[in-house]
């Protein structure tokens, strides 16, 4: 798995410059539940490796936001902090048929977000973890959601921005064992503490951070699930090679 250790923020940190990382999204990003959130894990990785004084974290998640609403609040919620790295995670609300955000509009909003946030620093796109599509109750929602995740991949490729594709990784587990996948979910759209842990551990690894021995016991359940996701990813790669 490729790491993101080549990002410019690491050069700043090595030069003892302070950096700000921002998580920008909706309820997938907003910290509204007990336990460590996925962004907490990533922030902890920076703090343990570079010191709390050198890495500040901004959680700019607002539940219910569409990409249109996120775009509208960049100047008020993000611009004053001028983050060196912004992680964009959206699409769940946009893909809901009742919100009336077309695929074309979603794509355009993502590109505009990238353009505006790039004024301050680097921008990273990430997909959702795979949501529990079998529990979606609105007609067309379960069909639309994967398409909007693909738009995120396409936009990242278009602007040559880094991408973390949680959806592909998590969807293998959802299809392989729905009951075990649901152990990571708070409801059809949101992670519980264990799901946040798994996503956080994946982010730590992608950013090139290693979990120290004294943290392993706390993360036991997340590490076991991460191992299963790794095995399913390896299996999928082997199948593609054989074909």
Q: pLDDT band at residue 241, thresholds of 50, 70 and 90? A: confident
Q: pLDDT digit string (tens) for 37-63?
A: 999 999 999 999 999 999 999 999 999
Q: Which of 222, 50, 46 is nearest to 129 (CA)?
A: 222
pLDDT, tens only, 185-228: 999 999 999 999 999 999 999 999 999 999 999 999 999 999 99
Residue burial 167-204, b: 16+ Cβ < 10 Å; e: rest: bebbbbbbeeeeeebbebbeebbbbbebbbbbbbbbbb
Give the CATH class of 16-242: alpha beta
- pLDDT score of 1: 54
Q: Is residue 2 scored above 60 in pLDDT? A: yes
Q: State pLDDT tens for residues 65-99.
A: 999 999 999 999 999 999 999 999 999 999 999 99
Q: Structural domain boundaries of the chain?
A: 16-242
Q: How far apart are the first and last CA of the chain?
A: 21
Q: Write phi, then psi, for 234 (nearest 5 degrees).
A: -65, -40
Q: Are 91 and 152 in contact (CB under 8 A)?
A: yes
């Amino acid at each position: 798995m490729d790491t993101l250790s080549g990002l410019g923020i690491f050069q700043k940190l090595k030069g003892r410059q302070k950096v700000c990382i921002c998580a920008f999204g909706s309820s997938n990003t907003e910290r509204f539940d007990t336990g460590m959130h996925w962004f907490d894990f990533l922030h902890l990785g920076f703090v343990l490796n570079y010191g709390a004084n050198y890495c500040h974290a901004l959680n700019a998640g607002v539940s219910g936001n569409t990409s249109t609403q996120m775009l509208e609040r960049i100047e008020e919620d993000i611009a004053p902090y001028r983050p060196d790295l912004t992680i964009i995670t959206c699409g769940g609300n946009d893909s809901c048929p009742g919100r009336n955000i077309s695929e074309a509009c979603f794509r355009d909003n993502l590109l505009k977000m990238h353009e505006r946030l790039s004024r301050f620093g680097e921008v990273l796109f990430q997909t959702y973890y795979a949501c529990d599509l079998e529990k979606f109750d609105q007609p067309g929602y379960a069909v639309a959601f994967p398409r909007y995740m693909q738009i995120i991949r396409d936009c990242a490729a278009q602007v040559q921005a880094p991408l973390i594709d949680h959806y592909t990784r998590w969807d293998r587990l959802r299809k392989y064992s729905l009951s075990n996948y649901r152990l990571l979910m708070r409801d059809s759209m949101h992670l519980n503490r264990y799901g946040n842990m798994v996503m956080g551990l994946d982010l730590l690894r992608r950013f090139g951070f290693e979990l120290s021995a004294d943290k392993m016991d706390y993360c036991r359940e997340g590490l076991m699930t991460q191992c299963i996701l790794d095995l399913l990813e390896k299996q999928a790669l082997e199948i593609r090679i054989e074909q």
